[in-house]
Amino acid sequence: MHKRLFIPGPTEVRKSNLEAMATPMIGHRFPEFDVLFKSTVEKVQKLLYTNNIIFVSTSSSTGLMEGAMRNCVSKRVLSCVNGAFSKRWAQIGEANGKEVDRLEVEWGKAIKPEMIDEKLKTGKYDAISIALNETSTGVYSPITEIAEVMKKYPDVIFMVDAVSCMAGTKIEVDKLGIDVVLAGVQKAFALPPGLAVAAISEKAMEKAKTVENRGYYFDFLVMKKYYDKWETPATPSISHIYALDKQMSYILEEGLDNRFNRHLKMAEYTRNWAKERGFTMFSEEGYHSPTVSCINNTKGFKVGDLNAFLAEKGAVISNGYGTLKEKTFRIAHMGDTQMSNMEELLSWIDEFLSK
């Protein structure tokens, strides 16, 4: 039996989007492709409230994270680390020979604007990386306040990993002044894994022109050259782009505000459920993620036992990340998941807990 995915990626994919991936193939230099690509890009721009260019990358999100590090950092990057994925960005910088300083806070805590201000004041940095929605801890950092601070430092490239919240929360890229914001489509976009998207500012593109050794596959300047023809440098996963174009239509049809509100409501419902059962949240109060809840396993059950129980109902949730494996459990409420799915899931977990 198929298990409905309540894990923070991949998420459940609707059948018609799976079917879109079975569309007969076209060539990536055909005019038909340019039409498809342009249509997809324009819809993603709407989702992100931006006029910035949109790269569509045949890779997972990590590829674009590496691309951002290689293209946008020459002096020193401030990597804000509050969990596994933000840490990954620091590691990518180091692996690419960049000078990386980590701004580390305890897992479960948010990155606060004052901390960033304090560091950037030194003038040591030309870029900053942050994971807006730390999937490992269920923490959503205060992007609006952080963006305000960033406006004081116009020479610093603002790089945001929005992998597990893009298409689930409102990210007004132009208003916030984000230079690089990226995500894979297997999370809140609710598509199969294998494609990632990013919005890149003019400022980031200008910066890339000054950076050496940008690599080959993710060289932003080459990607832009092809983007200007509604194409990609190498052969993309055309099947995925068919599905993304279709899903973007569904998303815009639902209405962006409706979609974002649905995520907020499901998150609130999940947190209230946890609270009423005597659980506590792992994430800092006031900074809970709208797309994934990381809950302290205060009852000490085995997450594997819960999942074995849920498997019989046709569902699966996630254990904690890394060392948090049994200490927390994570419930994703993102993508095309509806409130009725959450009600059903949580009633099954109640059934498990009462045994």
Ligand X SMILES: *Cc1c(COP(=O)(O)O)cnc(C)c1O
**Binding-site annotation: residue ranges for substrate:** 330
Window 83 to 102, contacts with ligand X (CB under 6 A): 85
Size, binding site for ligand X by CB under 6 A: 12
The structure tokens 């989702």 sit at: 47
Q: Which is nearer to ligand X, 67 or 113 (by Cβ)?
A: 67
**x/- map, 31-70, ligand X, by CB under 6 A:** -----------------------------xxx--------
Alpha-carbon radius of gyration of the chain: 20
Q: Name the residue nearer to ligand X (CB basis): 335 or 348.
A: 335
Among 67, 184, 236, 320, binds ligand X (CB under 6 A): 184
Q: How far is the CB of 334 from ligand X (least distance, A)?
A: 10
Nearer to ligand X, 162 or 281 (CB): 162
Enter the tokens of residue 267: 């998150």
As annotated, the binding site includes 330
* Stretch near ligand X under the rule CB under 6 A, chosen from 158-166, 235-243, 301-309, 334-342: 158-166
In whole angstroms, the minimum distance from the beta carbon of 29 to ligand X comes to: 27
CB atoms within 10 A of CB 329: 24
Q: CB atoms < 10 A from the CB of 43, how many? A: 18
CB of 159 to ligand X, least distance (A): 12
How far is the C-alpha of 291 from the C-alpha of 268, rounded, in Å? 10
Q: Which one, 170 or 313, has the nearer CB to ligand X?
A: 170
* Closest C-alpha among 75, 120, 123, 84 to residue 104: 84
| C-alpha–C-alpha distance, residues 52 and 29, integer Å | 23
83-121 CB burial, b ≥16 within 10 A, e <16? bbbbbbbbebbeeeebebbbbbbebbbbbbbebbeeebe
Q: Which residues pair with 80 in a beta bridge?
A: 103
- Which spans of this chain sit near ligand X (rule: CB under 6 A)? 9, 60-62, 85, 131, 133, 135, 161, 163-164, 184
